[in-house]
Structures are given as C-alpha cells and as structure tokens.
C-alpha cells in the first residue's frame, strides 16, 4: 500500500513543506529550515526518502516526491495575487545595506536556478559549487543534488560581497532579487496552512516601510516566478534521478546516506552529481569548499 495513503492530505502536505523549504531557506535555503548551513546537522535534506516525520520514518518514493512537488507548484500558481501583494505590503521590507543577508552565517547558501548557474559561469565560473544539501545517494556512494550554489569566502560572506555591497548588484541572481519575499507554506498552531515570510524578519533591514502598489505587484510577480522555477527544477531533478536509478539499477539506502554524510563531515572527499540542464554533472568535493 502506498504509505502516503495512510496519512491524511494535510500531513502529506506538511511533509512536503518540510522538503520544499530546502533551497529557499538560505537565500536559497532559509525558507523552511531553521538553519540550513552546509555543514551542520540541519543540512541533511528534509525531503530525503526515509525522512523521520512525526515520530515515524516515512519513505517517499521519487514518484511520491514528484507528486508532492507538483501539488505545491499547483498551490503556488493558484495562490491569489491580491493576498500575495498584501503580504508583501505588510512586510514592507527595505534594505539598509547591512550585508548580513549575503552571509552564510545568516542565510546558509545561495541556491542557483539553472539560468543563474549559466550566467555566473559566464563571468565567474569559480564561484559555482554543488549546492551543499545533498538530496540523495546511491548504493555506490555517490551523492546527488538538484543544483548549484554560490561559493562563500573564508569569512562566510558571498563571493560577490565587498565592503558590505554586492559587486554584481545589477546582475544578482533570482533569489537575491526576490529576497526576503520568498514565501513558504507553514501550519499555524491550529494546523491551518498559510504563506509566511520568513527571511530573517526583524533581524536585518527595515520592515513596515511603505511600498507602492506597482512595486508590490512586481515583487509578487517575480517571487511567484522564482518559486515556480525552483519547484520546476526540483521536479525535473527528481524525474531525472528516478529514471537514472531505474536505468542503472541504482538504489537509495538511507543508511548509506547517513554513513557517507558522516564521512563527509569528517573531511572525506565525496562524489556529488549535480543536476543541470537535464544532465548529472560529476564533481568531487570535501566539506572545505563549504566553509
Ligand atoms: S550575489 Fe550579491 S546580492 Fe546575491 S548574495 Fe551575493 S552579494 Fe548578496
């Protein structure tokens, strides 16, 4: 029996929310993880098959993950524009150039959509690294992840940050453009699911500043487009992974993942295959590139 049939729809959704929060909880990943730092315990993706949830360990197949992501995309696209705009108006964020949001300490890593990856590769290829939160592994010890991220410097700040300023501001990436309006779904104390704005509310910048209607509408449009593109990338990644595993007789084993992650945290070099434009690009990495 499909395990997801054993739990109600809302619970399915919550499991999914834990997963989808992945990338955007930094400016790419600060969305649903309380902390999404690359080398921390919390960096273990919530959407892995075998994710412990509510005291139980649920194993989601790739198809089940894809279904959940497609549902999320549908809900995102259906979300009323006016409500979206109202949330943005209420948040009223304005940047005070503190630069904190561009640091690993504050926001984990900057996840790159495929267009962003292509663009940064055209002018600073060394700035691209495999996103740190590996999504899965196979029985041969290779990790898989849904995309790339920006490298950070030794002090944990984005490689493009100088003296608190973005040196490529006009060319900054999708997540940087919609920050901090990336939205996620979250259940309140009564179990009602709603959109939240979560990117360091009241921890940086200024809030409750007036934003005119046209600007609110622009932010809503770009944020929705960002979220849709992110979900699309996650869905395509999982479809490709499902097909690759079937074609090559690969298996995901949670215990293998845990053991590999333990070795990786200790400094061992691992192979990670990064999904990009329908292919899996192989890399060898150690945790040092995330520190
Ligand atoms: S690209 Fe610019 S805006 Fe984006 S995280 Fe780096 S310094 Fe900040």
pLDDT in tens, 90-134: 888 888 888 888 888 887 889 999 999 999 999 999 999 999 989
Q: Is 111 in the pocket of ligand 1 (CB under 6 A)?
A: no
Q: Ligand 1 centroid to 236 CA: how many Å?
A: 26
Q: Is 172 in the pocket of ligand 1 (CB under 6 A)?
A: yes
Mean pLDDT of the 263-282 span: 97
Classify residue 99 by its DSSP letter.
-
Q: Ligand 1 centroid to 161 CA: how many Å?
A: 6
Mean pLDDT of the 214-229 span: 93
Mean pLDDT of the 122-151 span: 95
Asked if residue 83 has pLDDT above 70, the reply is yes
Cβ proximity of 114 and 147 under 8 Å: yes
Closest ligand 1 atom, residue 175 Cα: 4
Q: What is the mean pLDDT of the chain?
A: 77
Place of tokens 């709603």: 194
* Total Cβ atoms within 10 A of residue 131: 29
Strands 193-197 and 111-112 turn out to be: unpaired
Mean pLDDT of the 24-33 span: 32
Domain count, the chain: 1
Q: Is 7 in the pocket of ligand 1 (CB under 6 A)?
A: no
Closest residue by Cα to atom 1, ligand 1, is 172
Q: Ligand 1 centroid to 173 CA: how many Å?
A: 7
Judge if the upstream peptide bond of residue 121 is cis by omega within 30 degrees of 0: no
Closest ligand 1 atom, residue 168 Cα: 2
Q: Is 176 in the pocket of ligand 1 (CB under 6 A)?
A: yes
| pTM for this predicted structure | 0.80
Condensed to tens digits (0 to 9), the pLDDT of residues 159-179 reads: 999 988 999 999 999 989 888
Say what the pLDDT of residue 60 is: 77
Q: Is 272 in the pocket of ligand 1 (CB under 6 A)?
A: no
115-130 burial, b if ≥16 CB within 10 A, otherwise e? ebbebbeeeeeebbbb
Asked if residue 73 has pLDDT above 50, the reply is yes
- Range(s) of the domain holding residue 254: 3-290
pLDDT band at 285 (very low <50, low <70, confident <90, very high): very high
Q: Is 217 in the pocket of ligand 1 (CB under 6 A)?
A: no
pLDDT band at 27 (very low <50, low <70, confident <90, very high): very low
Say what the pLDDT of residue 104 is: 86
């Amino acid at each position: 029996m499909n395990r997801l049939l054993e739990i109600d729809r809302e619970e399915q959704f919550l499991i999914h929310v834990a997963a989808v929060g992945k990338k955007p909880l930094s400016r790419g990943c600060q969305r649903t993880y309380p902390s999404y730092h690359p080398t921390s315990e919390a960096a273990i993706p919530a959407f892995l098959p075998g994710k412990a949830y509510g005291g139980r360990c649920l194993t989601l197949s790739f198809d089940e993950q894809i279904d959940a992501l497609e549902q999320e995309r549908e809900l995102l696209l259906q979300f009323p524009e006016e409500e979206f705009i109202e949330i943005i108006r209420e948040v009223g964020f304005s940047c005070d150039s503190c630069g904190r949001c561009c640091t690993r300490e504050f926001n984990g890593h900057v996840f790159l959509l495929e267009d962003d990856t292509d663009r940064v590769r055209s002018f600073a290829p060394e700035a691209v690294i495999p996103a740190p939160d590996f999504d899965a592994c196979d029985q041969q010890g290779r990790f898989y992840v849904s995309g790339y991220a920006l490298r950070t410097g030794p002090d944990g700040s984005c490689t493009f940050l100088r003296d608190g300023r973005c040196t490529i501001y006009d060319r900054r990436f999708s997540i940087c453009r919609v920050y901090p309006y990336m939205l996620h779904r979250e259940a309140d104390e009564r179990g009602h699911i709603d959109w939240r704005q979560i990117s360091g509310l009241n921890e940086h910048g200024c809030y409750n500043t007036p934003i005119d209607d046209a600007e609110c509408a622009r932010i809503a449009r770009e944020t929705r487009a960002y979220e849709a593109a992110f979900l699309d990338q996650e869905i395509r990644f999982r479809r490709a992974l499902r097909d690759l595993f079937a074609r090559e007789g690969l298996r995901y084993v949670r215990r293998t993942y845990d053991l590999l992650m333990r070795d990786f945290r200790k400094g061992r070099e691992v192979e990670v295959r990064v999904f990009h434009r329908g292919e899996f690009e192989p890399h060898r990495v150690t945790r040092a590139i995330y520190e």
